[in-house]
Amino acid sequence: MTIGQQHRGTALITGANNGIGLELTRKMLAEGWQIIALIRSSFPSDDSLVSGAVKSKQLRIYKADLSDFTALKRALNEIRLQEQQVDLLFNNAGGSFPELLYSKQGRELHYELQTVVPYIITMELQALLQKGQLKTVVNTSSNAAMTVRHFDPETLEHPTKFKKLLGPYAASKLALSLWTRELAPQLAAAGIMIRSADPGANNTLRSGKDSGLPFWLKPVMKLFFPHPSHGAGLLYNAALGRHSKLPGVFLIKDQVTELKFAEYSSKVLSKVQAIYEQEFAAAGRLG
């Protein structure tokens, strides 16, 4: 009996329709999991596994631009109304952008989407997680976090410099893992396990999409990086594998890894918490 068969339940996956998120969705659908997909755009139309799961309602889709708080709030309210429980939450949506971009709320887009939004989703879905059996959250981080040489939480919202992959993207992933580490004891006391994991280097290049990758990395990725199913497997293991009882850890290659700049964990958590409480939750829930 596989891990998936032992722990079959309901998983919510953000960014479930492409790259690593799509492979994670396909893997878990094939094992019999119920999947809640929170996505901005559509699934590939030629994927028979996905289309069959949509028809049978094994896969249920909720759409929103996650970096737009109004759209995110509407989708999360809908999920709370329609869904009974969440066993696993994979905060996976994101990616690297080719230039300095800002969200509708006015913050740098990597930071908003990959640091702030996972916190909001986790907070908003706590009640559904409490109803689940596994009560586990996995935040998709990156080993790019380990390349950060100077880290200042005060510049995350409005960086003064931009560098592909190793700039705001890496800083946002580091910040994500830092608040995950800091929040973990509080959530564990409530029975919820949270950790962050690097899905490793994967060939996630998509034709027609301008990525935030340095030019030299693209041919390397195409030739040498494994299929996104590799990363999906690492996220899956982060949720259900040998570290499933460890709260707050950061996993690289399924190994617990010490975070850089851990002294800023509480400050990062305070910042995302303030955004959630003052902007998102304070706005009230739509009907």
Q: Which domain holds residue 202?
A: 3-283
pLDDT for res 16: 96
pLDDT for res 229: 85
pLDDT tens-digit profile of 13-25? 999 999 999 999 9
Q: In percent, how much of the chain has pLDDT > 90?
A: 80
What's the structural domain count of the chain? Answer: 1
Q: Is the pLDDT of residue 274 over 90?
A: yes
> Which alpha helices (DSSP H) does the chain contain, by range?
3-6, 19-30, 48-56, 69-82, 109-111, 117-124, 126-131, 168-189, 217-224, 229-240, 265-275
In a 13 Å sphere around the CA of 277, the CA atoms on its Cβ side amount to 6
Residues 119-140: what's their mean pLDDT?
98
Residues 206 and 196: their CA atoms lie apart, in Å, by 25
Q: What is the mean pLDDT of the chain?
A: 90
Residues 49-53: what's their mean pLDDT?
96
pLDDT for res 284: 62
Q: In percent, how much of the chain has pLDDT > 70?
A: 87
pLDDT tier for residue 213 given thresholds of 50, 70 and 90: low
CATH number at residue 11: 3.40.50.720
Q: What are phi and psi of 196, to 5 degrees?
A: -120, 150
pLDDT tens-digit profile of 217-226? 455 555 455 5
pLDDT for res 254: 95
